[in-house]
Chain A
Amino acid sequence: MKRILLCLAMMLLVAGTASAQRGLNCHPVFRGKVVPLERMVTTEVRGGGMATYKLDYYRGVSFQADTALARKVAALVTADAEAARSCQTEKTGDLLVYALIELKPDRKVNRYLCYQARSTGFIWVITLLYLEGVATLEDLHSMFEKQETK
């Protein structure tokens, strides 16, 4: 019973992180279920330095994939794009190579899914980001355009 009380408190704390990408079709990618974690570069940041970008949470994965795997990941991203508030996508042939998706917000927290597939010959380098924060798309574009002009 005492352990339950303590674990209940921990569950609520963990829930903030664990639920961040839950509900997304891309969730298995971030969890290493599509590509093993040992084959990816994964980054996760909460708070701290993300405040600079008006973001609370950043989760990114990057990995190499063949065309078949790239199509599989693209299909997951496409599924998330269908339920999004807005999205900007690009394709090479019939393969999705770029997506900037504004997901439906969670209360007043904006959520974004960013996907890019770069071709290096026969291999694709896939980058998938999940972001949360109060920043709007305009805010984010403005921040990085200002950095470019510096």
Chain B
Amino acid sequence: MNDKEKYTELVHRYWEAETSPEEEQDLARYVAGVDDPDFDEIRGVLGYLSFGRRKRGLKNRTVRRYSFAAAAASLVAVVVIGLSLLTSKPYSIEDFCVSYAYGVQTFDNEVIMASVESSLADFFAGDTPAETQLIEMFQR
């Protein structure tokens, strides 16, 4: 059994809640390192879960029991989000602002937005690079 077959089976077991925490970590490491579209969905889910755990500082996976009401609420959320996606404006559950500089995360939103504005200004303010060079040549 090659790696893809092995991890495809692991994905199936994950959806059935049959994987251990160690297997989930192994699966997360694998899907993060491959560029296979078959694993896009599980990659998205595991990435979102990983971000949430890191944000809350959770170290141990806790087993949660979902009641029928929680499942129904999830279904309603899916329907609402699905309807929202049909509208012109994409739905976003949460705004976020994140920056990494060579692997180190920046938490200062003001610094991040200042860099965003600077980057946008490079493209949308005034002259293109070639025009700028021409102007500088004539100004010498």
Residues of A within 8 A of B (CB): 1-16, 18, 28, 31, 33, 37-50, 53, 56, 58, 60, 62, 88, 90, 97-98, 100, 106-109, 114, 116, 118, 127, 129, 131-132, 140-141, 143-145, 147-148
Question: With A9-B81, A28-B35, A116-B123 given, is the CB distance from A43 to B98 under 8 Å?
Answer: yes
Query: How many A-B contacts if CB must be within 8 Å?
Result: 162
Residues of chain A with a CB closer than 8 A to B70's CB: 2, 6
Q: Which B residues, 88 to 102, have Cβ-Cβ distances below 8 Å to chain A?
A: 88-102
Contact A15 B44 (CB under 8 A): yes
State whether the Cβ of B58 lies closer than 8 Å to any Cβ in chain A.
no
Contact B120 A53 (CB under 8 A): yes
Question: With A18-B44, A97-B129, A109-B89 given, is the CB distance from A12 to B75 under 8 Å?
Answer: no
Binding site of B, secondary structure by majority: helix, strand, loop or mixed?
A: helix
Chain B CB within 10 A, most for which of A9, A11, A31, A106: A9
Residues of chain A with a CB closer than 8 A to B101's CB: 41
Contact B126 A145 (CB under 8 A): yes
Residues of chain A with a CB closer than 8 A to B99's CB: 41-44
Contact A7 B15 (CB under 8 A): yes
Residues of chain B with a CB closer than 8 A to A141's CB: 124-125
State whether the Cβ of B1 lies closer than 8 Å to any Cβ in chain A.
no
Other contacts beyond A3-B15, A45-B96, A46-B97: 4, CB < 8 A: A12-B81, A43-B119, A108-B89, A147-B121
State whether the Cβ of B113 lies closer than 8 Å to any Cβ in chain A.
yes
